[in-house]
Structure 1
Amino acid sequence: MRGAVDLSSLRNRPQTPAAPAGGAPPSAPTAVNSLVMDVTDDSFAQILELSRTVPVVVDLWAEWCGPCKQLSPVLEKVVAELGGRVVLAKVDVDANPQLSQAFRAQSIPMVVALLAGQPVPLFTGAVPEQQVREVFAQLLQMAAQNGVTGTVDVTGEAAPDEAAEPAEPELPPLHAEAFDAIEAGDYARAATAYEQALAENPRDEDARAGLGQVRLLARVQGLDLQAVRAAAAAAPLDQEAQFAAADLDLAGGHVEDAFGRLLDLFAALPNDERAPVRERLVELFGLIGDSDPRVLRARGRLTSLLF
Structure 2
Amino acid sequence: MNRDDNPFAGASGGYSTNVQYGGAPGGNGAAAGNAEIKDVTTASFSADVLQESRRQPVLVDFWAPWCGPCKQLAPVLEKVVGASAGRVKLVKMNIDDHPAVAGQLGIQSIPAVIAFKNGQAVDGFMGAVPESQIRDFIDRVAGKGPGPQAAEILTAATQARETGDLQTAVNLYETVLAEQPDNPEALGGLADLLLEAGDRAGAEEVLASVPEDKKDAPQVAAVRTKFALADQAAALGDPAEFERRLAADPDDHQARFDLAMIQNALGKRTEAADNLLTIVKQDRSWNDDGARAQLLKFFEAWGMMDEVTLATRRKLSSLLFS
Normalising by the residue count of structure 1, what TM-score does the alignment of the two structures yield? 0.42
Which structure has the larger Rg?
1
